[in-house]
Structure 1
Amino acid sequence: MKPQSSTSDMTGVQRAAVLLLSLGEADAAEVLKHMAAKEVQKLGLAMATMSGVTREQVLGVMDDFKGELERQTSLGVGADDYIRNVLIQALGADKAGGLIDRILLGRNTTGLDTLKWMDPRAIYDLVRNEHPQIIAIVLSHLDSDQAAETLQLMPERTRADVLLRIATLDGIPPNALNELNEIMERQFAGNQNLKSSNVGGIKVAANILNFMDSGQDQSILGAINKVDQQLGQRIQDLMFVFDDLVDLDDRELQIVLREVNGERLGIALRGADTKVRDKITKNMSQRAAEILVEDMEARGPVRLSDVEAAQKEILAIVRRLSDEGAIALSGGAAEELV
C-alpha cells in the first residue's frame, strides 16, 4: 500500500488492517476467527501489503475507533444498532457485513460454507464424482473467483453443463439444501442451520464466467448457446470484461482508479484496447498518467497469464464497488446510444 496522507484516504479494509496490526497477534487472531473465509483473505492480504504507514496514521485510526466508541452508547440505543454502527465505523461496511450477520443473526458456519476455506483443487476432488446438479449447487455457494477456479479444473464437457445448471437454478427446496449440507457435514464440523435457499441464477453464472481464463469463457458460452441461445445471450449481457471499463462514466472510473494499485494497472493495460488506455489516462492526473506510461514502456515483456491475473484483480474491485452501489455496471452488451 502506498503511503496515505490521512486516515480519510484509507479504505475500510485498510483501516481495519492497521487496527488489527496494532492490536498484537493474540487479539488480532481473536477478531479474525469471527470472520468468514473471504473476509479473512481480503483483510489478511491488506495486512500483508501494508507499507509506508506513518505513526500519525496509526494514531489516527486508533483515535477514530476510540472516538466512535465514546460517541456511541448502549444507553437509550438498541444493542443491535450500537453493535452495527461500531463495527461499520471500525471495519467499513464491506468488511463488517458478514461479522454483523454472525453476531446479530447467530449464523454459524455450515458444511457448505466450510468449502470457502478450501483450495479449489480440494473442492474439485470432493465434488468431481457428484452429479452436475450437485456440483452446480456447491459452486453457487462459493465466491465467484473460487467457483471459477474450481470449474476450470473440470473436464471441458462438464463445464458448460454445470454452468448451464447454475444459470437455471431458481431456489433450492430447504430439505434438499439440508440434505446436501449434511453430506458436507460428514467431512467438516458445523451445523445444518441453513437460512436461505436462494442460490444460483444467471448473474451468478455470469460472475463465474468473468473469472474464467481467456477463451474458456467463450467456449462455455458457445456450448450453452447450442442448448439455449436465449439463455446464453442473457448470461453474456450480464458479463463485464476489462475492456468494458470504457463504458464507465468518468466519475465512476475515478472511483475505481482510487482503489487500484498503479503497478497492477500498468500490467493489466498491456492487454487492453487502446480506447481503454486512453479513457483511463484521461481520468488520471497528468503526472500520474505520465508515470503509468513510463512504467509500461520501461517494463519488459509480460506473460499473458500475468496480464489476465491483473485484469481479474481490477475487475474484482469493479464488481465489489458495484455491489456496494458506488458504481453502476451495464454489462458487456450495453446498448449503444444514437
Structure 2
Amino acid sequence: MEDVSGIRKAAILLISLGAETSAEILRLLPESYIQKVSYEIANIDYVNPTEREEILNEFLEMSQARQYVIDGGVDYAREILNRALGAQRAKEVIDLLNQIQLRERPFNIARKADPMQLKNLLLSEQPQTVALVLCYMQPDKAAQILAQFPLELQTEIAERIGTITSTSPAVIEKIEKVIENKFSSYVENDTETVGGVHALVEILNSVGRSTEKNIIQVLEERQPELADEVKANLFTFEDIIALHASDVQKVLRHVDNDDLMLALKGVSDEIRNFVFQNMSSRAVETIKEDMQFMGPARLSAVEEAQQKIVAIIRTLDESGEIYIRRGDQDAIIS
C-alpha cells in the first residue's frame, strides 16, 4: 500500500462502503476533497479484492490507533497495537499516524499555498526561516520552491535544512504566525486566477455522470448560487439539444454507433428524436433496429457512453469546429 496515494485509498474505501454511506461521508468533506476523491472514484474501473481488504484493514487500524493515542498517549497506543498487530505492524501504524498528525500541525497554510506565491513571500525571509518552513512542507513542493532561489541561497538554505535537529515550539509558533500574516496580506495584494467556476466545470465535465450529479446536489445544498453558475456553464449530454444542427452532424461523424445506441437509451424522446433528425434515414433505421435487440443496459454503461460523446463535443468546441453556448454568452449570428 506504500505506493497507493491517499486520495486513491479514500476513493477505494468509499467504494467499499457503498453509495449511501459514501454520500454521507462526502457531504462532510471540504469541497476540494470532494472533487479530488470524486474524480478518483470516477476513474476506478476495478478494485482488486486484496487491495480493498488491505485498505479497509489500514483504515480500521488507523482509526483504532488514533483513538488509543487520544485515550492514553503514544506509548499506550504502541503497547496496545504491539499486542494486537505485532511489533513491526504496530510501528508502521504509529509512524503513519505521526506523519498525518505532523501534516496537521505547523505551517499548514504553507503546504496549501501556491508554490510561486509562497516563493515570492519567502524571498524576503532569512535562510534559517525559509529552511524551517520547507522542513514542514511536502518534499516535492519544497524542492520546487527551493529551485526558484538564487544558487547561493539554495546552498545556504539546504545547509540549514540539513543541520536543523530541533526547534522550540514557541519559536515555530511565532514564525508560523508571521508567515500566515504576511501570506494573507500578500494574497490580498497579489493574486492570480486559480480554481473558481471554470476550473470546477472543467473537472465535472471529465467525471462520470453519477459523480457529477452528486457533486451538483451537494453544491445546491451548500452554495445554491455557485451551483446555479456551475450548471449554467456545465455541458451535459442532454445539452446536445442546444447545439446547432450542423454542429450535431459534425459530432455524430466522430461517434461510434455502439456508444450512440447506449447513450440514447438514457434520454427522453425529445432528445432522441433531435439526434435522429440530424442523421440520415438509413442510419436512423439501423440504430433503431439495433436498439430494439440490444436489451437492457447498465446505468453506468449508459453514462460512460454519454460521457464519451460529451468529450468529443468538448474537443470539437475547443478546436473551433463547433460552438457551445455557455451561460449568458451571446449566440453566434451567421
Normalising by structure 1, we get a TM-score of: 0.45
Structure in which a larger fraction of residues adopt helix:
2
Larger Rg: 2
